[in-house]
Structure 1
Amino acid sequence: MALKFELVTPEKLYRSDDVYMVVVPGTEGDFGVLEGHSPMMSTLRSDAALEIYASQGATPEKLTIAGGFAEVNEKGLTVLAERVVEAA
């Protein structure tokens, strides 16, 4: 089973994938999201790394994002980023 992950900027749908886990840079601290995570919302830190794990034990892909929000619901994780700055 996999987590449905979407990364959206005001310009476009940046990414839409099924992944194992995403570590989100929340303003109250980083948090990991796996499939079945409890519903929640969080604001995001600016210029912080979003870590995307394609599979368990994989090396994470890191993307630097500039602020925004994250929502976890029964469908998965959606990150609404002001912008994706660069690969970290």
Structure 2
Amino acid sequence: MLHFELVTPEKLVRADDVYMVVVPGTEGDFGVLEGHAPFMSTIRDGELAIYKTQNGTPETIRIEGGFAEVNGVGLVVLAENVAA
């Protein structure tokens, strides 16, 4: 499982172990699975698609701007704003 955290400047919005997250990167959407190579990307306004299981229906969360970091622990999305 991929450890995923969604953070804004105000708070930790979500921390969960998931199958995959698709992030709206400024260079295009990218999917992150467990074991993904480390990297950082800026993100554009759009929707995160969070897959709890391999064939499951994704949950979407609207985000605005920020950065995404994939590291040895998992994926951290540092969003400027998360729509309620």
Question: Shared fold (TM-score greater than 0.5)?
Answer: yes
Paired residue for 2:58?
60
Paired residue for 2:82?
84
User: What is the root-mean-square deviation of aligned Cα atoms in Å?
Assistant: 0.6
Q: Secondary structure at the match of 1:32?
A: strand
**TM-score, normalising length from structure 2?**
0.98
**TM-score, normalising length from structure 1?**
0.93
CA deviations 1:5-27 (Å, max 9, x no partner) are 00000111000000000000000
Give runs of aligned pairs for residues 8-87 of structure 1, distance below 5 A.
8-46=7-45, 48-86=46-84
Amino acid in structure 2 at the alignment position of 1:68: G
Structure 2: give runs of 5+ residues left out of the alignment.
none
Identity %: 70
CA deviations 1:62-88 (Å, max 9, x no partner) are 0110100000011000000001114xx
Amino acid in structure 2 at the alignment position of 1:40: F
The structure 1 segments of at least 4 consecutive aligned residues displaced by more than 2 Å after TM superposition are none
- Measure, in 2, the Cα distance between the counterparts of 1:72 and 1:7: 12
Structure 1: give runs of 5+ residues left out of the alignment.
none
